[in-house]
Amino acid sequence: MDRDERQGFGKRVSRREALRTVGAAAVGLAGVAALAMPAGASPLQATPEQHPATQDVNWDGQVFDSGGAVLNLGDWPGFWQDMQHANLIDQFQKDFNCTVQYDSSWPWFPKFAAGGPQNPPLDVANWNLPDLFKTARAGEYFVPIDELKANVPNSKDLWPFAYKNGLGITYLFSQYGYAYRKDLVDPPPTQFKDFWDDRFIGKRATYITSNTLQMVFFLVSSKVWGGDETAVDAGVDAMQRAMPLKISDFTGNMQTLLERGEANIVVQHDGEPYAQIDKGIPLGWMYWTERQPILTQTKTVSRWSQPMQKKLGYALIQRSTDPSYQEAIGVQLYERPTNSKAKIVDNLASKGVANTEAATNLLWIPPWDWYLDHEQEIVDRVDKIFGA
């Protein structure tokens, strides 16, 4: 991937300047003199100058007393939520005298869209990139990336690809490829096209079209079989030729398909198969090399959140990018760090994973804006194949 030269890092962007135009458009009061905001008035009733989000919020990285403030966080449910509390949230609440209100009912896009940019349902959200891009296209929902970086001191230690999406900070990631049953597959796959070998007929698996892994699989298929990620016909043809397919809704179920032998080769990200291998399950792993996409954990701060919540949001992302936190998650979930100072834990190092600049140079983020422009066509055509 192209290198990010971090232009503008450390430059404080004025909230008042950055939001003046969009705020005026949102409330339809451009050119009207600012008046005192009535007691109890909602942000949507304010002029741009009166809206709390126009106040500059700068955080220096120090722990502070929030006075019992509530931070609304959108993040994944289940074991992930338990892990977040144990490794991040519980201590964060104590240190900053706050309450983290955890919302696990994904997706986030409908919630943001329902209230509009000035009434964010979440102060901080953890995203899959397609949903993040879709939300960003719908309005000025998020603190701009340069301002976000300037308020998260760990930013100076993150690999440049952590900001390549242009919307939020990626703090953990895993890489795409194929997991396969090593005891049932001989020879092992060595290239992306091997998924379509006749020996895998009826034993191949991917995901429903709303799953990010399937979206990425489709894009890489279009590239490999059609010469470009935008070659939709080639991607559709690839899905047709791969049938019959096992179709999973999420990666945990994909693990089960492999363990039961219902699938011999599946689309996956490396963290979960690596965990299975260490439990003694006879799996092999092959990275895609034609493109090297990653499954990311990416956090944003809502640009129209109240100043205290915004400050807490910066602090939460600061702790999410801390080496100690990222190493702990590496041990538990086989996720990789984006902080250049984090160590690769033994369970990943034993698989050849390295936390070096060279290891991140070729990591690839798909053209999500293009995909969203063509999503309906792709979904309609692929769902007809999967449902046949």
Identify the segments of the chain with pLDDT beneath 70.
Answer: 1-54
What local confidence, expressed as pLDDT, does residue 4 receive?
Answer: 31
Please give the domain boundaries of the chain with CATH numbers for all domains: 15-27+62-172+295-360 (3.40.190.10), 176-293+367-386 (3.40.190.10)
SS3 68: coil
Rounded to 5 degrees, what are φ and ψ at 307?
-55, -45
**How many CB atoms neighbour CB 285 within 10 A?**
20
What local confidence, expressed as pLDDT, does residue 30 receive?
Answer: 35
Q: Is 306 left (phi over 0), alpha (psi -120 to 50) or beta?
A: beta
Amino acid at 366: P
pLDDT per residue over 149-173, tens digit each? 999 999 999 999 999 999 999 999 9
Strands 124-127 and 204-207: unpaired
What local confidence, expressed as pLDDT, does residue 13 receive?
Answer: 41
Q: Please, are residues 218 and 368 in contact by the beta-carbon 8 Å criterion?
A: no
The candidate with the shortest Cα–Cα distance to 200, out of 267, 255, 276, is 267
What local confidence, expressed as pLDDT, does residue 53 receive?
Answer: 59
Question: Quick one: angle between helices 271-278 and 251-260, nearest 10?
Answer: 40
What local confidence, expressed as pLDDT, does residue 56 receive?
Answer: 80
